[in-house]
Chain A
């Protein structure tokens, strides 16, 4: 039970590696075989390099472009790197060593970084087949189609890159959610309870208005001084009169 978190942390790190590698693998493959079983054409899709013709044949039209914005890929790589930093150097249990309350904010920020990675991962998992493939009449996850006119067989299937995204999600999601939930749960408890007690103590206590009390005494002192001076002046004038 004690090592469960450590195990999932390792899974998370492996998941990050898988996610990173997935960007360099093929996400979708189209193969065309002749009736004799020979491979006549093959296109592989990769989110960075787009379509690559492994076996080209002019008879067949090459697939339409699938343009995943470069910014998304760049964000994905950055968030993989940041998440790796979080998992390796900012493990949850490190909160214990610092006694600053602000540390929670730092760890909360880290949990958002992990969530951002998950969001991008889910974007790839969902948007790639649902919007990019389907829109281009590319079948998901796998389809065999025979063209009787050309006497060839089409094979459409997802590649190792996309499968790596799916595996990566399973590896990364549990630790991310656990990280987020722990930071939220413990921070909330600490802050809310302390605040409630502080407010409660404040309402129970009597407010001492030191400044007001000091000011009152200062006025009193000044007034007394003025009175004293007046008495002194009066005494002096009476003495003169006597003289």
Chain B
């Protein structure tokens, strides 16, 4: 549901619940909204969903998100204050479920709207979202490309080490920025840097990369396939010509001798092109 729809519905519900003095209903809705937002953040960050059946509290899940981010990226997504408030909301709700006050509803709604300010990048969306900083893009692009060519040339690790340390220092800068104040764009950049760094260190071929298509690493890596497609086109061409020769040999037996010779002549490059394409360029 869109935020604007939620806001409208919530407003309507609040107005009517105030009239009926049914604050319990508002408290339940507030808590559900908080819970949903936290679930969304956790899943988008790649964590397992909150184990509601096992009674995992929202506060505990928030802490788990913080621990996860601290372990991996050395910063916390939720401030201590927000954690404390959420913990209090959950505890108060359990203890005073029958006597929910307006104050409790206010606190819960405030917490929900605070949480809504936190946005994490959709890590599953690729390059056609808003691009990241051009400098970083350019750097990553050239870095990853040079890495690719370096590996192709001599498999040297020196370039990788250099790149890795550069990426490390870049991400440290972003980490300190995020520790001071969280913002989505810096977070996104840091994730990309980490991803690239991981890719370099682990010698992986796949790098998730956001930004523009021209700067997309996978796209850049796919360019050599064009050469493969060239071989494929020659293969298709010779294959068709061979087929034409076979058709001719069948329909016009008079030309079968010439056709047989040409079938042989065309099938050799045809096979050769297929082998070259298959062993060097075929996408896995």
Chain A residues close to B by CB (< 8 Å)? 1-2, 4-5, 8, 92-93, 95-101, 103-104, 122, 125-126, 129-130, 134-135, 137, 139-141, 143, 166, 169-170, 173-175, 177-178, 181-182, 185-186, 189-190, 193-194, 196-197, 200-201, 204-206, 208, 210-211, 213-214, 217-218, 220-221, 224
Contact = CB atoms under 8 A, between A and B. Distances in A.
B125 A174 contact: no
Given A173-B229, A213-B25, 13 more contacts: A93-B212, A93-B213, A101-B128, A122-B240, A126-B244, A174-B233, A193-B124, A197-B43, A206-B35, A210-B10, A210-B29, A213-B13, A217-B20
Contacts, number: 179
A22 to B, nearest CB: 15
A239 B147 CA distance: 95
Contacts of A189: 126
B114 to A, nearest CB: 18
A139 B255 contact: yes
B255 A217 contact: no
A204 B16 contact: no
Nearest to B142: A2
A206 B103 CA distance: 24
A14 to B, nearest CB: 14
Given A122-B240, A217-B22, A1 B32 contact: no
Contacts of A204: 39-40, 43, 49-50
B55 interface: no
A177 to B, nearest CB: 5
B255 A186 contact: no
A177 B227 CA distance: 11
B58 to A, nearest CB: 11
Contacts of B49: 200, 204
Contacts of A103: 128
A218 B16 contact: yes
Among all A-B residue pairs, the 3 with the closest Cβ atoms: A96-B212, A173-B233, A174-B229
B125 A130 contact: no
Interface centre among A130, A135, A169, A181 (most CB of B within 10 A): A130
A92 to B, nearest CB: 7
A214 B12 contact: yes
10 contacts: A92-B213, A135-B251, A140-B244, A170-B234, A170-B237, A182-B222, A190-B128, A197-B44, A205-B35, A217-B17
B36 interface: yes
Nearest to A223: B20
Contact of B252 (A1, A122, A134): A134
Contacts of A92: 213
A189 to B, nearest CB: 6
A196 B212 contact: no
B229 A200 contact: no
A125 B32 CA distance: 65
B157 interface: no
Nearest to A156: B255
B232 interface: yes
A78 to B, nearest CB: 23
B248 A205 contact: no
B258 A143 contact: yes
Given A140-B248, A178-B229, A211 B240 contact: no
